[in-house]
C-alpha cells in the first residue's frame, strides 16, 4: 500500500504562474520538453532549474524535470514572487501616435514591440509606455489598462487605446459586435487559386503545442471560437502572394491560423512554419534568394494597415490608415524583381 501523502504547496507563500491540464491523448513525455510547448520564451534549462527548485507541481506534488506527463495530469508552476506581468511599471518609450483626443489614441505599433507584459516580456511593452504617459487608464476585461484589442509582437500596425471607461466600453462593444473595421496586408506562401474569398473556421489552442492556435471543425468545432477572415489578392508574385485580409472576428493569431489552414502560411512566420521554403524550386540560388528575403524581413509578413470605428462620444465613424513598413516593402520589392526576372527568362 502506498501511504505517500503529497506535499501540498503553501498557497500563502507561492504564486501560480502557469496551470495546465494534460490532454487525454498525450503520450508520455518528459515534463521539461512538454512545458517548452506551453510556456512562451521558456528554455529547457530554465524549466529544469524551476523543477530543481521545487517550483513545478503535478497533481499537487513537486516533480523533477525527468517526470513523464500522463493524460489528465494537472500541472502548476508556482514561484515565491507574483507574475511579473502583474507588476506594471511605466517606461519612457516613444509612441508613434497617429491620432489622440480626450477619449482615445490610435498608435502605429512597430514590429518587435509586445503589446502587454507576459512571460519573458516584462518590460518594453506598449502598456509600459502607456502607463508612463497616462496617470490612469481604464482596465479591459483582462485587467489590461487601455487595451481594446491587441496585435502580435512581430505584427506591425494600428491599435486603438481607450483613455476613459466610456471609451473602453463603447469601443470594446464595437469589436465584439463586429462593427469595427480592420484590414491587414499579408505576404503568404503560394499562388492563391482564388482572387478573393472567405475563411471560416473555429479557432482554439492547438492540443499538442499551446503556443500555436489551430482550426477545429466538424465534431471538434466546439473546441474553438468562431472566426471569419475575408481575403483579397493584391498582387501575385510567383511563389508568394500579397493579400488583403479583413477581420470579421478577432481571435488570437487569426490571420496566421486561417492562412495556414488553407495552405498559405504567412511568409517567415516562424511559429507556424513559414520560416522554411514552402513553395518554389530546389535550386541553390533560389534558396539564397529566400534566405535574403528572410533577413530583410525577420518576422511574419503581416501589417495592420487600416482601422475604423465609431468615435465613442462624437458618434462619427473614423478610419485610419498607415503604410506598409519598410522591412515588408523591401521584401515585397525583392519578390517583384525575382518574379520579373523569371518571366524574362
Tell me the catalytic residues.
152
CA-to-CA distance for 99 and 54, rounded, in angstroms? Answer: 49
If DSSP codes are grouped into helix, strand and coil, which group holds residue 189? strand
**CA-based end-to-end distance of the chain:** 78
Instruction: Identify which of 249, 199, 250, 251 has the alpha carbon closest to the alpha carbon of residue 224.
Output: 251
Helical (H) or strand (E) element with 294: helix 284-296
Q: Give CA 269 to chain center in angstroms.
A: 11
Instruction: Write the burial class of residue 143 (CB in 10 Å: 0-12 exposed, 13-18 middle, 19+ buried).
Output: exposed
Give 253's contacts (C-beta < 8 A, 6+ positions apart).
152, 203, 212, 213, 271, 272
- For residues 51 and 64, is the Cβ–Cβ distance under 8 A? yes
3-state secondary structure 238-292: CCEEEEEEEECCCCCCHHHHHHHHCCCCECCCHHHCCCCCCCCCCCHHHHHHHHH
Amino acid at each position: 500500500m502506498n501511504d505517500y501523502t503529497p506535499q501540498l504547496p503553501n498557497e500563502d507563500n507561492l504564486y501560480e504562474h502557469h496551470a495546465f491540464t494534460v490532454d487525454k491523448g498525450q503520450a508520455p513525455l518528459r515534463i521539461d520538453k512538454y512545458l517548452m510547448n506551453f510556456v512562451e520564451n521558456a528554455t529547457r534549462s530554465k524549466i529544469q532549474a524551476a523543477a530543481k527548485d521545487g517550483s513545478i507541481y503535478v497533481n499537487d506534488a513537486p516533480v523533477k524535470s525527468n517526470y513523464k506527463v500522463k493524460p489528465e495530469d494537472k500541472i502548476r508552476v508556482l514561484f515565491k514572487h507574483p507574475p511579473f506581468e502583474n507588476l506594471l511599471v511605466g517606461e519612457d518609450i516613444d509612441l508613434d501616435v497617429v491620432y489622440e483626443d480626450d477619449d482615445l489614441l490610435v498608435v502605429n505599433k512597430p514590429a518587435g514591440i509586445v503589446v502587454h507584459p507576459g512571460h519573458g516580456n516584462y518590460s518594453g511593452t506598449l502598456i509600459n509606455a502607456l502607463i508612463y504617459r497616462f496617470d490612469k487608464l481604464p482596465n479591459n476585461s483582462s485587467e489590461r489598462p487601455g487595451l481594446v484589442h491587441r496585435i502580435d509582437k512581430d505584427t506591425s500596425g494600428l491599435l486603438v487605446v481607450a483613455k476613459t471607461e466610456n471609451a473602453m466600453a463603447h469601443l470594446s462593444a464595437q469589436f465584439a459586435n463586429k462593427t469595427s473595421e480592420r484590414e491587414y496586408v499579408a505576404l503568404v506562401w503560394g499562388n492563391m487559386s482564388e482572387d478573393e474569398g472567405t475563411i471560416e473556421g473555429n479557432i482554439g489552442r492547438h492540443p499538442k503545442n499551446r503556443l500555436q492556435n489551430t482550426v477545429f471543425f466538424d465534431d471538434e468545432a466546439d473546441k474553438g471560437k468562431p472566426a471569419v477572415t475575408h481575403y483579397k489578392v493584391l498582387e501575385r508574385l510567383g511563389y508568394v502572394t500579397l493579400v488583403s485580409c479583413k477581420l470579421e472576428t478577432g481571435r488570437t493569431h487569426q490571420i496566421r491560423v486561417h492562412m495556414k489552414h488553407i495552405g498559405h502560411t504567412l511568409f517567415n512566420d516562424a511559429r507556424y512554419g513559414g520560416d522554411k521554403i514552402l513553395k518554389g524550386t530546389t535550386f541553390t540560388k533560389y534558396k539564397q534568394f529566400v534566405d535574403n528575403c528572410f533577413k530583410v524581413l525577420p518576422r511574419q509578413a503581416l501589417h495592420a494597415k487600416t482601422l475604423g470605428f465609431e468615435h465613442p462620444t462624437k458618434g462619427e465613424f473614423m478610419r485610419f490608415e498607415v503604410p506598409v513598413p519598410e522591412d515588408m516593402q523591401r521584401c515585397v520589392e525583392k519578390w517583384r524583381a525575382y518574379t520579373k526576372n523569371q518571366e524574362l527568362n
